[in-house]
Structure 1
Amino acid sequence: MGCDGGTIPKRHELVKGPKKVEKVDKNAELAAKWKYCTLSQEKLRRPIVSCELGRLYNKDAIIEYLLDKTAERPNAEAVTHIRGIKDIKELNLTDNPEWEGERRNAKGDRYEDIHCGMFICPVVGLEMNGKHRFCYLQTCGCVFSDRALKEIKTEICHKCGDPFKDEDIVVLNGTKEEVQKLKEKMEEKRVKAKTKKSKKSKAVETVSAPPESKAVAGPSGASSSTKGSKSLAASATKRSIQDMEEKSEAFKSLFTTHSSAKRSKDQTSNWVTHTPYHF
């Protein structure tokens, strides 16, 4: 049986088979991770920072996110673990001399190498394009290939000379398993910092609190606190010099509490001038 025009349909045109699973282009996936900001999806440009999970961001995009977290962003779930500027590290990257930027294929008359990376490893020269594992040091922010750190084992940074430990190495754009390990490490580190901060605050509170006065028994058996209370009571019940009968009248007249030092209302002057002089 034919259709209009004498065409005969084939089986695949009449019977619908299972849908083909769309595969993600690996080159596009690598370019999205290593050449574009994880938050803003803009091209990476200096200064470039990374979080404790090894993701790459533009620093200005992270600052805008921290200043206004209520704004709607397409990839906000990728930065929920970033609480402040201390949770990111600015990377010390080495430029690739072969990278020409946007001008490399302006005319379209030459081969475009999509695997050419903007940065390279300063030790072995590998390009940071996703084909090789790269790491950065949390102490100084310098970026190296994993091969360089394994072949030249040292506890000093190859680029700036700062000391580091194995726990300071963070893998950039690692696998799901590596990201999960980095997440557990980050949470454990934050819990330790929180407990340390709480202990420090408690110690400061105990130091700033005034010590409680304790009663110390003296040689006569009376406590120092009772002596202090007695001295306070004695000072509160002091008599006036004018009431002391054993003092002479000449001695009492030396003080302002004596009757001779007091003036009556007629003797006091009433100042009405604008100057404090009295003639």
Structure 2
Amino acid sequence: MASPPKLLQIFVASPDLQLPRRSITLSTDITVGWLKLSLLRSKTLTVDSFYFSFNGRPLPDSTTLAAADVPSSSILTLRHRLAGGGGDGGATGAESRDCYLNMYAVKKPDKVDPNETRLSRWTTCALSSEPLAPPCVIDRLGNIFNKESLVEALIHKRLPKAFSHIRGLRDMISIHLSLIPDADGSEMRFQCPIAGLQFNGKYGFVAIKGCGHVLSVKSLKEVKSSACLVCHKEFSEMDKVVINGSPEEVAALRDRMEEERGRLKEKKEKKPVSCLSGSKHASDEKAGSLENGMKNGSGKRFKAIDIAPVNANKEVYASIFTSSKKERFKETFSCRSLPLGRN
């Protein structure tokens, strides 16, 4: 008898349709096409015009959630499919079959538009390839992420090797991106709050660790100040992190990160030693120096007889203290001043 299918809880979001993120519990044998149809059933939209993506990878409609290796608590994004071309009059019907065979005989490498690659680095999450949406964070090397995607990958231990330097929340720097008002609201775009330069890779940007504000390099050069131009919080040169920098800038940030971790490790290793050699050893040294001073004559040794009251018997008064004729008495655990044989 076949075992019943397992249940899976996933999150569904659609920035293109401005649908709020919601949680859905489904069976693992449900297809992606059925899920898409259930979401678009109440809308007058063409089902074929949309597709689901997981971690930036499109999912075919015929694929089940189990076959797509979608783990629990994952986020599936419903995206709008771009319309294709055609109808340009390029086909005349007179071409022979050999023309098509020769055309596809040698596969040409796909040309990657450098402008598209640059724009993708500055407008999408470096981990999930989803459009940037606050809250956003950067790592110590200047890569930019959606905070939710990065935290989820850390919890499930699914970080790629390229981001192995991110070990926890301490390696994330929360940033504040300044939005550009968009008329239709279909896409979030960002800019420098001082110079108004767009956050698209054409201009250099840095993030300030202390406050998290993202400013263009040009604005920091024009207005030379040791305080943030937005919140006026003081910062140093070491607090600036270059976002999506060049290989040389990334190498400098990596060296700074390793140096900071080395100092922190050295500080942790020295901390237990300082505790052991701290109050306890200092008190022992103080007590030893006091005792040596009393014995060597640098300080006067205490005697109870010297401070006895005027009308008191000095010998009786001195017997109250252990410093008086100690060789004649044996101290007990319950009372140091009461010797045995006198009760």
Q: TM-score range by the shorter chain?
A: 0.5 to 0.7
Q: Distance in 2 between matches of 1:90 and 1:186?
A: 17
Q: Distance in 2 between matches of 1:62 and 1:156?
A: 30
Structure 1 residue runs without a partner (length 5+):
1-6, 105-116, 243-279
CA contact (8 A) 1:39 1:78 kept: no
1:135 aligned counterpart, secondary structure: strand
CA contact (8 A) 1:126 1:132 kept: yes
Equivalent residue number for residue 161 of structure 2? 77
Equivalent residue number for residue 191 of structure 2? 120
The answer to whether structure 1 residue 51 and structure 2 residue 127 are counterparts is no
Summarize the Cα distance change of 1:97–1:62 in structure 2 as closer, same or farther, 3 Å threshold: same
Give, in angstroms, the shift of residue 68 of structure 1.
2.9
Question: CA-to-partner distance for each residue in 1:171-214, whole Å, 9 max, x for gaps?
Answer: 11112221111111111111122223333332223214342663
Q: Distance in 2 between matches of 1:220 and 1:182?
A: 62
Map 1:61-72 to 2 at 5 A. Answer: 61-69=149-157
TM-score by length of 2: 0.54
Give, in angstroms, the shift of residue 220 of structure 1.
7.9
Map 1:1-279 to 2 at 5 A. Answer: 13=102, 20-69=108-157, 73=158, 76-98=160-182, 100-102=184-186, 118-210=189-281, 211=284, 214=288, 216=292, 218=295, 234-236=329-331, 238-242=339-343
Q: Distance in 1 between matches of 2:272 and 2:183?
A: 51
Bigger shift: residues 167-176 or 33-42: 33-42
Question: CA-to-partner distance for each residue in 1:107-150, whole Å, 9 max, x for gaps?
Answer: xxxxxxxxxx7111011100101111111111111001111111
Q: Distance in 2 between matches of 1:236 and 1:86?
A: 58
Q: Distance in 2 between matches of 1:233 and 1:126?
A: 93
Question: CA-to-partner distance for each residue in 1:15-67, whole Å, 9 max, x for gaps?
Answer: x77x6444322233123312221122222211101111011111122222332
Q: Distance in 2 between matches of 1:84 and 1:232?
A: 65
- Identity value in percent: 35
* Greater strand proportion: 2
CA contact (8 A) 1:94 1:122 kept: yes
The count of aligned residue pairs is 213
Structure 2 residue runs without a partner (length 5+):
1-95, 302-321, 333-338
Q: Which has the higher contact order (CA 8 A, sep 6+)?
A: 1
Aligned amino acid, residue 122 of structure 1: P
Question: CA-to-partner distance for each residue in 1:74-111, whole Å, 9 max, x for gaps?
Answer: x6223211122121111011111246442x7xxxxxxx
Question: CA-to-partner distance for each residue in 1:189-243, whole Å, 9 max, x for gaps?
Answer: 111222233333322232143426636261589xx9xx99x9599443732335x
2:292 aligned counterpart, secondary structure: coil
TM-score by length of 1: 0.65
RMSD in angstroms over aligned alpha carbons?
3.4
Q: Distance in 2 between matches of 1:209 and 1:161?
A: 45
